[in-house]
Amino acid sequence: MSENSKIIKEWINKADHDLGAAKLIYLHIPDYFDTIAFHCQQATEKYLKAILEHYRIEFQRSHNLVYLLDLLSQKIDITEEIYDNAIMLNGFSVQIRYPDNTVFLTSDELDTSINISQKFRDFAIKTIGLKE
């Protein structure tokens, strides 16, 4: 396995942990809105970084999903829907982890956040060509 393949799989694995955490927290403590949303954003960020690694695109440390998609758009077409989904999750990054930035989301919004992260996972797996 090449070093690049190893790094890509590590990004996917870490992202899967974030997405799995979001799903578990939602099932057991659904009123932890900010934590669920944060893990959805984090999972998506890591899936995008896995794709960037796949294409060997260098990126700065950033939680900004739009920035990551802009870099990725140098190699592949990024649809408006993908950008819209990223923008929806973008606000759930590190900033909401502090007391002065609490978010309150409905169960529909939490479902949507989890589904968006899952779509980014599917997008990453397909784009990279990983077998599950």
Report the half-sphere exposure of 106 (CA within 13 A, side-chain side): 3
What is residue 22's predicted lDDT score, i.e. its pLDDT? 98
Model pLDDT for residues 42-91, shown as the tens digit of each residue: 999 999 999 999 999 999 999 999 999 999 999 999 999 999 999 999 98
Residue 32 sits at φ, ψ, to 5 deg, of: -90, 60
* The predicted structure's pLDDT at residue 1: 58
Task: Give the span between the Cα atoms of 59 and 85, in whole angstroms.
Answer: 20
Say what the pTM is.
Answer: 0.93
Domains and CATH numbers, the chain: 3-127 (1.20.120.330)
